[in-house]
Structure 1
Amino acid sequence: MATEECTLKPIHVTYDPITGVPSEFNEFLPKDCDEYKKWKAAEGGDLDAKLAEVKLDKNGKEIEKQLPGGKKKLKAKPEIVLERAVRNKKKAITTILGLDTFGVKLSDASKIFGKKFASGAAITKSPMEKDQIDVQGDFLDKAAELIVKTWGKEKGISKKDIYYIDNKRKVPYFHEGDEEADS
């Protein structure tokens, strides 16, 4: 038996300081892991991609999404939607959705509604995953007046921003004549 000498030399691997794996493996990391996110952020591609995604229409408004066929979907204007839901024949729940789009803190608003109407008021998630206020009782009319009175001047909520659900259709709560009468 002859003794042969091994002439293998060690391979020198450089590890990425952000992810801790060799640099050529960074793109194969799972997309939801923290190391991948840090690597993408440090790479600078995310910021440039986000800035490139923001598009403006002719009027300078931000376009939310480009639909198939070249149609443009604009961002929705802020609005408040009131809804009355009947449960157990005589019981009702008034739902107020969209106050947060005007910058109103929902926790403070639910306390105001609860004290004003002497009933329970809670913040819940809507089926569209948006926060809404549920008030126990039928306070649709009083809630609309309270919203305009409390946050009208402070947050810029006008009567034309308030809608209610009637027969599964969104209808303006105040008529056009009501706006001029109160101004």
Structure 2
Amino acid sequence: MLNDALRLSDSNRIDSLIKIGIATVLLCILSPLNIDIGMEVPLTLQSLLVVFFSVLFGWLNGSVPVLVYLLLGGFGAPVFADYNSGWDLFLGSSGGFLIGFLIAANIVGFLAEMNIMMKNLFALVLLALGQFILLVVGLYWLQGVTNEEFSWGVQLQAFMPGLAMKTAFGGIVFIGLHRTAKRLANQS
């Protein structure tokens, strides 16, 4: 967790509000984008971003943006994948993934706060764990909503390449921010 290392204000409350605002805006702007790289499952940044901010800022500053993002999408802002929105998505086949966003963000944020001296490898593990948690919640929900039996192995295999790419990308960004924070601390 780099919450203390990446200070944006001397006031803790203002610092938290700025981080929550930045994370919410980035979630809303980047999450609807669908990146087609020829995989079976389209690549979106939603699952990475919802856990990335919790790894970066901890439980509260990472989970509140996810909650705001979900509320905005529920009330009609086109912030979900493919610029979708609405409460009906929470009841349909993607509902488990949306609910999983908040579950994963909370768990990962809690674990990140337990490890104050965040090492880059631990951050990668948390990024992968968070995406895996929401994937399991989403697939479990999907199976319940469709009432169809499917092979968990096949489903996980379809999602794993994207999960691995997003985890690697998130890790690179985290390492870059970690190094920047260290450099700024050494200059102070």
Q: Would you tell me which structure has more strand in proportion to its own residues? A: 1
Structure of higher CA gyration radius: 1
- Normalising by the smaller structure, the TM-score range is under 0.3
Pick 1 or 2: higher relative contact order, CA cutoff 8 A, min separation 6. 2
Instruction: Give the TM-score normalised by the residue count of structure 1.
Output: 0.27
Q: Would you tell me which structure has more helix in proportion to its own residues? A: 2
Instruction: Give the TM-score normalised by the residue count of structure 2.
Output: 0.26
